[in-house]
């Protein structure tokens, strides 16, 4: 089996890897992420000092990365699905805020828009695999 076989095994292992207490970790990280991003956006919209908001940006990035790690551990395939690409796009935009501070409000609004769209789009888009070119699960 060549490189394509290795990639397939990484994306879809015969038995997905597991994380102890994954649901508790997911709820904790998701709650932190929502609190950080909501407060961060509101703070920027209403002109809170950057010094107070920068730690929230780092918390939003760290909690988002933690959520990605939770999803990636069992199988890496989610990064090729519609919702996984949306998640990666959101995290990328959060990181761009660090370098494009003057555009932070539109960038953060885009993060919220991607979060809403990604969470509520139909399964045929949410679970469409750009690797396998079909819907993986419904």
101-136 tens-digit pLDDT: 999 999 999 999 999 998 889 989 988 988 889 998
Positions of E strands within the chain: 128-129, 134-135
Element (H, E) at 105: helix 104-120
58-89 tens-digit pLDDT: 999 999 999 988 988 887 778 888 988 999 99
- Annotated domain spans of the chain: 20-135
Q: How many Å is the maximal CA-CA distance in the chain?
A: 56
Q: Who contacts 81 (Cβ-Cβ below 8 Å, separation ≥6)?
A: 126, 127, 128, 129, 130, 136
Model confidence, pTM: 0.81
């Amino acid at each position: 089996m060549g490189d394509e076989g290795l990639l397939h095994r990484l994306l879809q292992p015969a038995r997905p890897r597991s994380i102890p207490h994954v649901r508790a970790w997911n709820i904790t990280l998701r709650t932190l992420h929502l609190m950080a991003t909501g407060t961060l956006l509101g703070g920027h919209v209403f002109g809170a000092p950057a010094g107070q908001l920068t730690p929230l940006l780092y918390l939003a990035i760290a909690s988002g990365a933690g959520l990605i790690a939770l999803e990636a551990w069992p199988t890496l395939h989610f990064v090729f699905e519609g919702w996984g690409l949306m998640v990666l796009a959101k995290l990328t935009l959060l990181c761009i805020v660090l370098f494009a501070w003057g555009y932070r409000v539109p960038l953060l609004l885009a993060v919220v828009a991607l979060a809403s769209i990604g969470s509520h789009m139909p399964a045929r888009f949410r679970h469409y695999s750009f690797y396998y070119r079909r819907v993986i699960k419904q």
